[in-house]
Amino acid sequence: MSNHDHYAPKLPQFAEQIIYEDDNLIVINKPPFLASLDEREGGEPSVLRLAKKYHPDAQVCHRLDKETSGLLLIAKNPETYRLVSIEFERRRVTKLYHAIIGGTHVFEDVLVDLPILNLGNKNVTIDRANGKRAETYFNSLRYFKHFTLVECRPVTGRMHQIRIHLATQQAAIVGDALYHGKPVYLSQIKKRGFSLGRGKEEQPIMRRFALHAHELRLTIGDKACHFQAPYPKDFATLLRQLEKYDD
């Protein structure tokens, strides 16, 4: 028996992330903390790098923030990459994200259409004069005492769009420090019977912001496609704890 299992990388294997594959397309459920494309620093793995090991001609068709989990489309050939890119550019892709936000917020097809200016170096701001058009629809899916599960449908695809648009509604995503979203601790929602070992520092239930790319609909060539990605473990755990202690 080999003990090489002990040295398995922390990131899940690329093939295990695939939720759909055909001759032209790979669809993965991207784990959190994995960059979509190579970051300038080099070293760390990215979806693009892992995909190319799996299929040499792979190209990532769009991107998710490093901490965001969920659906990512990867083309296996230049023609598919071109077709998918056109759909995104023409805003013909329906993208549904799920986010957990602080506070109880009733969103019923609420449209936030505040222009976003990209300042470079992963900084964006709302700028009505110089920003680019940005539109997101929000629908509340599930209410808890102190939190809300929200479906977000961005029409445009600006950097940090969902995150900053929610922040403008005083509804920052939990754990999104950049936009003043606070992490959720079990001690905060489980008032009774919570204890932490001596000398231990409590960690948040989720160590990132709670945003997941849940569903995609698009037409590639003449083929209608609909993909759904289940919640990753951390997102599912946070929801389960809210259902248990904050309902």
Q: What is the CATH number of the domain that holds 35?
A: 3.30.2350.10
- Integer Rg of the chain from CA: 19
Predicted pLDDT at 12 = 66
Give domain status of residue 75, yes or no: yes
Give domain status of residue 54, yes or no: yes
**Torsion of the alpha carbons at 119, 124, 128 and 132, rounded to the nearest 10:** 80
- Domain hosting 153: range is 12-191+204-245
Give domain status of residue 197, yes or no: no
> Within a 13 Å sphere around the CA of 85, how many CA atoms are in the beta-carbon half?
10
DSSP code at position 166 = H
Give domain status of residue 198, yes or no: no
* Pairing outcome for strands 59-60 and 147-154: unpaired
Give domain status of residue 4, yes or no: no
Give domain status of residue 7, yes or no: no
**Helices (H) then strands (E): counts for the chain:** 6, 12
Number of domains composing the chain: 1
Cα 126–Cα 205–Cα 235 angle in degrees, nearest 5: 65
Rounded distance between C-alpha atoms, residue 96 and residue 228, angstroms? 9
Let me know: does 180 contact 168? Beta carbons within 8 Å.
no
pLDDT averages per 10-residue partition of the chain, 247 residues: 44 89 98 88 84 96 96 98 96 97 97 96 92 98 98 96 97 97 94 75 95 98 96 98 95
Q: Which of 57, 65, 176, 222 is catalytic?
A: 65
Predicted pLDDT at 10 = 60
Predicted pLDDT at 121 = 80
Predicted pLDDT at 1 = 42
Predicted pLDDT at 199 = 74
Tokens of 180: 């003043």
Predicted pLDDT at 6 = 44
Tokens of 144: 């808890």
Query: Is 65 tagged catalytic?
Result: yes
Give domain status of residue 196, yes or no: no
Give domain status of residue 2, yes or no: no
> Within a 13 Å sphere around the CA of 20, how many CA atoms are in the beta-carbon half?
17
Let me know: does 97 contact 216? Beta carbons within 8 Å.
no
Among 20, 11, 13, residue whose Cα is nearest residue 228: 20
Taking the alpha carbons of 28, 34, 40, 42 in that order, is the dihedral positive or negative?
negative
* Pairing outcome for strands 116-120 and 136-143: unpaired
